[in-house]
Amino acid sequence: MKASELIVKCLENENVDYIFGIPGEENLDLMDALLESNIQFIQTRDERGAAFMADVYGRLTGRAGVCLATLGPGAMNLVTGVADANMDRAPLVAITGQASLDRMHKESHQYMDVVSVFKQMTKWNTLLHLPEIIPESISKAFKTATGEKPGATHIDVPEDVAKMEVSAEPMPHDFPSESEPVASCLLRAAQLINEAKQPIILAGNGVVRQGASRILTQFAEMTNIPVAHTFMGKGSIPWTHRLSLLSVGLQANDFVSCGFDRADLVIAIGYDIVEYHPSLWNPERNKKLIHIDTQPSESDASYVTDVEMVGNIRQSLRHLMAQEIYPKDSEYASNTLRKIILDQLDEHRDDTGFPMKPQKILSDVRSVLAEDDILISDVGAHKMWIARMYPCYQPNTCIISNGFASMGIALPGAFVAKLIYPERKCLAICGDGGFLMNSQELETATRMGVPFVTLIFNDEAYGLIEWKQMNNFGRPAHIDFTNPDFVKYAEAFGAKGYRVEGSDELVPILEDAFSQKVPSVIDCPVDYAENLRLTNELGHLTCPI
């Protein structure tokens, strides 16, 4: 068989459902081989959209999303989404077409060393210089992408190699074992918990990735220790739970950081320091630290651990719960910090101001979405409000790009969410800046008949940058722009367009949009004057002793 056909057989062997991408001259043989496969190729309108689709597919399923591009500019357009997946621990396999081997030693049309470029943003990548190495290479790409901690891998396929004849078969799957913490670490962790006066749990992305939300909640209930979560740990404990302190990570003295200020022990579970740097919650470097994760901790001066429980998070928590641990008095957290946060959540629920305040918009969104519906947040000022104000009942119902923090992820991400979960409502929330970075994928969605909803926070500016500028310099610089008519823009793609013109209109518009059989776009003017008020409140908040 041809090497391109073997690649497709290996992808089928990895149970690939979708490949997101764009055809090109250097991947012609692979595109032709896919015609005989049960893998669905989803042709996107830009490689950036394809990479973000694979990124969010990996986050939601735990299986590697696959994106495909040709050489040179096509490969380079994948970069942002691939880097985003790698930094946010989403399994992804990128495949690029490449110039033939006899062109790689010299200057040649569209040729560049893509393997060297992608090396900086992947766990592993390679060039297929021989067709015989295809089974091993694809097996390793998927095994590495999905193994803890997950991330991106990349395979570069020269066009002449794709045409070669080869006699080989896909590799059988192996099943690596998972480690568990040693007994001495369990005893030390239990001792630290029993000695602590005011411990707090910091739940990160790993809790969601490892499906450890239920056991984490049980551990919190058994020990009576409150739980704060990172942006990417949303839903790791239901927001309605009495021990939930909601999100931490605004990089200011936010509400939850008061709990960290007073904590003498932090139990970090499934936490990566890229999610919320420990220097922001352990500035004095004086807290006792228990690290529970699938990998040892990153070396960091503000994150020097006292004990590390390395292994499957669910099993680690089960073993820890079998130790003799005495429940704590968490009244300081549940009755003080939680009340402050929930009061803030309710403050603008019935606000009638227009343009709408971010708190009001998110209150309306939460009232329309069910517990298992999915919100994909783009990056911008709205992301900070979603991270703080949007409460989750379940894990993986609010996807936030946080490590690489890439604008443009929400619209292609919501498309994939709806593709995977057609029975759920799927909502992309974008700023007007981020929306236009990947809005071309509306055509992909209308062509595919995938009806998700996009809600645009419209302030005709790069609102997050203005927020930072005002905090640092007291004046904005070069952040304003103009927008097209978003209603007409959506309709030009065959989607449904809406414009919110009053504070009482968003809920009925959302309900109508979710009933459509085509994608919908909602233009909602937002009042970001609240941004500085939030910063001031967080910066001056103090908690009673």
Residue 545 lies in a domain: no
At 353, which amino acid appears?
Answer: G
Q: Which of 531, 248, 235, 523 is nearest to 375 (CA)?
A: 235
Q: Where are the alpha helices (DSSP H) in 224-357?
A: 255-262, 313-321, 331-332, 338-346
Q: Say yes or no: 365 and 431 in one domain.
A: yes
Residues 206 and 309 in one domain: yes
Could you give the CA distance from residue 240 to residue 279 in angstroms, rounded to a whole number? 29
Helix/strand/coil (H, E, C) string of 367-400? HHCCCCCEEEECCCHHHHHHHHHCCCCCCCCEEE
Provide the angle, in degrees to the nearest 10, between the axes of the packed helices 183-195 and 313-321. Answer: 60
pLDDT by position in tens, the chain (length 545):
999 999 999 999 999 999 999 999 999 999 999 999 999 999 999 999 999 999 999 999 999 999 999 999 999 999 999 999 999 999 999 999 998 888 878 788 778 899 999 999 999 999 999 999 999 999 999 999 999 999 999 999 999 999 999 999 999 988 877 788 889 999 999 999 999 999 999 999 999 999 999 999 999 999 999 999 999 999 999 999 989 988 887 665 566 666 888 899 999 999 999 888 999 899 999 999 999 999 999 999 999 999 999 999 999 999 999 999 999 875 554 555 567 667 766 777 888 999 999 989 999 999 999 999 999 999 998 998 898 889 999 999 999 998 888 999 999 999 999 999 999 999 999 999 999 999 999 999 999 999 999 999 999 988 888 888 888 899 999 989 999 999 999 999 999 999 999 999 999 999 999 999 999 999 999 998 877 666 565 555 444 43
**Closest C-alpha to 385, from 534, 537, 536:** 534
Are 450 and 395 in a shared domain? yes
pLDDT number for residue 386: 92
Kindly report the CATH number assigned to the domain that includes residue 118. Answer: 3.40.50.970
Instruction: Answer yes or no: do 331 and 193 share one domain.
Output: yes
* Domain stop point among 309, 335, 361: 335
Q: How many CA atoms lie within 13 A of 240 on its CB side?
A: 3
- Residue-level pLDDT at 110: 78
Residue 170 lies in a domain: no
Residues paired with 376 in a beta bridge: 399, 428
Q: Is residue 173 part of a domain?
A: no
Residues paired with residue 427 on neighbouring β-strands, in sequence order: 375, 453
Both 263 and 133 in one domain: the answer is no
Are 133 and 268 in the same domain? no
Beta strand pairing status for 124-127 and 152-158? parallel
* Total structural domains within the chain: 3
Pairing state between β 227-229 and 124-127: unpaired
Cβ atoms of 232 and 386 closer than 8 Å: no
Query: Side-chain half-sphere of 383: how many Cα atoms within 13 Å?
Result: 31
Indicate if 290 and 221 belong to the same structural domain: yes
Q: What is the DSSP string of 159-198?
A: HHHHHSB----PPPP---------HHHHHHHHHHHHH-SS
Q: Is residue 154 part of a domain?
A: yes
Query: What is the rounded CA–CA span in Å between residue 251 and residue 390?
Result: 17
* Residue 267 covered by a domain: yes
pLDDT score of 541 = 46
* Gyration radius (Cα) of the chain, Å: 24
Q: Quick one: pLDDT at residue 544?
A: 40
- Same-domain check for residues 320 and 464: no
In a domain, 121, yes or no: yes
Q: Considering the domain boundaries, does residue 224 fall inside one?
A: yes
Taking Cα atoms as reference points, which of 416, 415, 361 lies closest to residue 390?
361
515 and 453, same domain (yes or no): yes
| 381, 475: one domain | yes
Torsion of CA 528, 80, 204, 282, to 10 degrees: -70
What is the identity of the amino acid at 82?
Answer: V
Check whether residue 56 and residue 114 sit in a common domain.
yes
**Is 117 in the same domain as 95?**
yes
Domain extent at residue 412: 347-536
One-letter identity of residue 18: Y
CATH code, domain with 222:
3.40.50.1220
Q: How far is 13 from 168, CA to CA, in rounded Å?
A: 13
